[in-house]
């Protein structure tokens, strides 16, 4: 993608300090446009902006105990936009949590750590590569 057409990333996390840190890291790359939200409801309310990728926290209930958690938000996103790539992010380094996220059709699961931003970059790169391959295959299929 070019600067004229940046990759729109939604970052959703109720830890506002962590969210700000992630947003700053992504903002250092001119290929990305980043929108941040502290609840799943805010993400869903803005989903019509059609982000290219969503990075979604697993818990999401420290600000509002009645807020949807990450899995509930993921399910709503996948219901409306089944092909929307969502990367789940959590401080839980627990295989059961990761498996739960994958069962709900998350693209990847990243544990919040010192290397989380690098892992997110790799996951985003994989998503974009996968999308480019799909576009190329579709182009070839149309030509046949």
- The number of domains in the chain is 1
Q: Is residue 2 a part of any domain in this protein?
A: no
Exposure b/e, 110-143, CB count within 10 A at least 16 = b: bbbeeebbebbeebbeebbeeeeeeeeeeeeeee
In this structure, is residue 1 part of a structural domain?
Answer: no
| Dist. CA 117–CA 16, nearest whole Å | 16
- Tens of pLDDT along 44-96? 999 999 999 999 999 987 777 788 999 999 999 999 999 999 999 999 899 99
- Examine the pLDDT at 2 and tell me if it is beyond 50: no
pTM of this prediction?
0.90
pLDDT in tens, 89-138: 999 899 999 999 999 999 999 999 999 999 999 999 999 999 899 999 98
pLDDT tens for residues 12-36? Answer: 999 999 999 999 999 888 899 999 9
Q: Which of 127, 4, 1 is nearest to 55 (CA)?
A: 127
Cβ contacts of 75 within 8 Å, gap of 6 or more: 104
Residue 87, beta-bridge partner list: 55, 108
For residue 133, being part of any structural domain is answered with: yes
Query: In this predicted structure, what is the pLDDT of residue 65?
Result: 77
Q: What is the domain range of residue 77?
A: 7-143
Q: Is residue 129 part of a domain?
A: yes
Q: What is the pLDDT of residue 1?
A: 45
The CATH number covering residue 32 comes to 3.40.50.2300
């Amino acid at each position: 993608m070019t600067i004229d057409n940046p990759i729109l990333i939604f970052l959703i996390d109720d830890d506002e300090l962590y969210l700000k840190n992630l947003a700053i890291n992504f903002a250092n790359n001119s290929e990305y446009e980043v929108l941040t939200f502290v609840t799943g409801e805010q993400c869903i309310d803005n989903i019509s902006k059609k982000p290219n990728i969503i990075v979604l926290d697993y818990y999401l209930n420290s600000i509002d105990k009645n807020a949807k958690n990450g899995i509930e938000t993921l399910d709503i996103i996948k219901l409306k936009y089944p092909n929307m790539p969502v990367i789940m992010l959590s401080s839980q380094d627990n295989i059961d949590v990761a498996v739960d996220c994958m069962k709900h059709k998350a693209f990847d699961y990243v544990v919040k750590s010192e290397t989380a931003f690098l892992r997110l970059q790799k996951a985003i790169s994989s998503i974009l590569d996968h999308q480019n391959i799909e576009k190329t295959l579709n182009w070839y299929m149309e030509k046949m």
